[in-house]
Structure 1
Amino acid sequence: MRLFNILILALSFLLMSPVAQARDLFEARLSYGMLNSDPDLNPLCAGCAGSAPSVTPFYGLGADGIITLPIPLLPGIGIRYENMEFSTSKSGLDYTAHFSRTALLLNWRPIDNLIYAGPILTYGLSHSTDLKVTEFGVKKASYSAGSPSSYTVGLEAGVKLIGFSLGAEFGYQNFQWNDATDSTGNAPSQDINMNGTYGKFILGFSI
């Protein structure tokens, strides 16, 4: 029992010690994730006869590039790109939405050895947004945000293997599609709230 306790303490020290942490200079990552937003869809189609369907999450792919200097406690800095979409239907009424997002990324890993864990933040730099509504095949609305803004706050964790890593990230995304304009002219400009929780599975490659 005493030997077991000593082994646990030694492992904890190995994982937490700044001296022992294995910091990768550059990490390229691919991700597949979801954004569980809950916008109010009914105001987006003033001329639709039926009520809006239930909202489904956004799903899509992403990529990160992160540089971390070999200095203890210094966060990594990088760029994140995401491309996600959702579609939902009800009684001939179809809603489809798509966005791409490029963001500044900061991550800090107080644990960074065989396993890694820590907070991660992103701030949106560039966005492309699109939301369309059709009713029985007829386009009723087509929105694009005039001044979108976004940021995320989350936690990441994973394991490092030989040459690559497997991990996950979960958190909250604030995503405002401000001044969204309907190109069909059927509805007034409005703000669309795409805030929600998000999650990602991540495959990383480090040097």
Structure 2
Amino acid sequence: MAELADLEDPKTRAVNEKHGDDHGVNLTELRALAKRLKTQQDLARELWETDDTAAKLLALLICRPKAFGRDELDGMLRQARTPKVHDWLVSYVVKKGPHAEELRLAWSADPDPVVASAGWALTIERVARKPEGLDLAGLLDVIEAEMKDAPDRLQWAMNHCLARIGIDHAEFRTRAIDIGERLQVLKGYPTSPGCTSPFAPTWITEIVRRQHDKTGD
């Protein structure tokens, strides 16, 4: 904790707080610390129990993902209220453990939109990497009905899923683009030069174009 405190930088904190993350540790330095510590599950659990966001992030880098139980992960997600902790927990721990599918189903139906967004993040992973058994048409039905009025984090995750379905599954591409055009979610989102817009029709069209250019199709 003392080492993390020494890494605290006011400028980094100011930038992070704009994104809802209450810590001031440069993530490159945090990863370097994690690399030195290597995997330490007991220390990870102790760090997680602190109220310090940087400590929780470090815990997620040095933990053993498969060592957590299903209920433990559920409790951790409900404690992870800052965006970076939430994202890292899902991406670095839950996705790599044996409970990902069970939690995906439970979280997607949760009334807490932040918890539900984690379920959708796991669904995005399935859409892209293991779509067998997924009801893609049914997912599009839910997105079409609920994305427009969803809270920000849940809306973002649903929109990402919409784009992923359109990119990876040609048979649903026209419908995915049509849903995006009609709902207009994130159409005016500011996008840096060289980056792809998160507006689903633009996102889908651009990534598919790049894939075709790469393969020569």
- The structure carrying a bigger strand percent of its residues is 1
TM-score greater than 0.5 by the shorter chain = no
**Structure with higher helix content:** 2
Bigger Rg over Cα: 1
Normalising by structure 2, what TM-score? 0.18
| Structure with the larger RCO, 1 or 2 (CA within 8 Å, 6+ apart) | 1
